[in-house]
Amino acid sequence: MIQALKRLARSAGLERRHVEAARMFSERQALALAPRPSARTRGRILCYHSVGQPEFGVNDVPPARFRRHIELALELGYSFVSPAEIARTGGTARQLAVTFDDALKSVAAEADPILRAYNIPYTVFAVAEWSDHVHDWQKQQVLSWDDLGRLMEQGVEIGSHSATHRDFGELDEARARREFEVSRATMKARLGVTPDVMAIPFGQSRNWTPLADRIAREIGFTTIYAQAEDTRPPNTIPRTFITRFDDDRIFRALLRGAYDRWEEWTWVY
């Protein structure tokens, strides 16, 4: 059955990203309709990527929707604290925090003014090679180290998102170690700080291993964020993945825990 569906998708000219987006949309909608009582007592860390860069597909949240997320959370009685506070203390059930993976330009251009208007702290996780602007697309889409330095001066925490955004679930010890070491060394050279916090690239349960965890902590990372809640890898800090499909109904549902057992779905065909 699955193979037949894959053949049908190919025959219809659908690319993998189209199939993934359609599946994600349907799953988000369905789970929002199924109430899931939550006994959550800790805070929730929201994981965004871009805010107004549509080329990043399901990871991109339009600026108006991002603003609405913030306003809706406040209307519902939530307060915002730093990601570090929830990571350190667990927070409370009515506390939220905001993070951004990949250090994309729209974070500074679109998200930052909204968050500053509400005095909300946040953390950005940078991929070292991407912010080095090794490739042309990175110059166009990713914040430079100068950009990140300016955010740091304004109080934004900058963490690591690895050296090249590799899947640690597929890396041997030598390659994993290089990802951590190059990331820390580059951030020290460019920003003057050696990070001890990082977010796992892709961030799902299969993207992290006990080996990667051991090496990361040996090298000096003390706080490691996932991009999943109940299914996250052991010893990592949970985060709730936010998608472009998350309207008011879905956002309310995710705050109630509707997606705490959900992971971003990948279909290779």
Q: Are residues 145 and 181 in the same domain?
A: yes
Residue 267 belongs to some domain of the structure: no
pLDDT at 17 over 80: no
Residue 71 belongs to some domain of the structure: yes
pLDDT at 2 over 90: no
Structurally, the chain folds into a number of domains equal to 2
- In the chain, the amino acid numbered 243 is T
pLDDT of residue 9: 42
* Range with the poorest average pLDDT among 86-100, 169-183, 226-240, 252-266: 252-266
Residue 262 belongs to some domain of the structure: no
* pLDDT tens, residue by residue, 202-218: 998 999 999 999 999 99
Encode 6-38: b = buried (16+ Cβ within 10 Å), e = exposed: beebeeeebeeeebbbeebeebbeebbeeeeee
pLDDT of residue 237: 98
Task: Decide: helix, strand or coil at residue 12.
Answer: coil
For the four alpha carbons of 104, 115, 254 and 123, in that order, the dihedral sign comes to positive
Domain extent, residue 55, equals: 39-255
* Range with the poorest average pLDDT among 21-25, 125-129, 167-171: 21-25
Which residue in the block uniquely carries the two structure tokens 């050696």?
Answer: 194
Q: Are residues 3 and 127 in the same domain?
A: no
Percentage, residues of the chain above pLDDT 90: 80
* pLDDT tens, residue by residue, 87-133: 999 999 999 999 999 999 999 999 999 999 999 999 999 999 999 99
Q: Are residues 5 and 85 in the same domain?
A: no
Q: Are residues 91 and 107 in the same domain?
A: yes
Q: Are residues 4 and 43 in the same domain?
A: no
pTM for the full predicted model: 0.90
Q: Are residues 56 and 11 in the same domain?
A: no
Mean pLDDT score, 208-229: 97
Residue 266 belongs to some domain of the structure: no
Q: Are residues 85 and 163 in the same domain?
A: yes
pLDDT of residue 8: 37
pLDDT of residue 41: 87
- Per the DSSP assignment, residues forming a β-bridge with 79 are 95
Q: Are residues 222 and 125 in the same domain?
A: yes
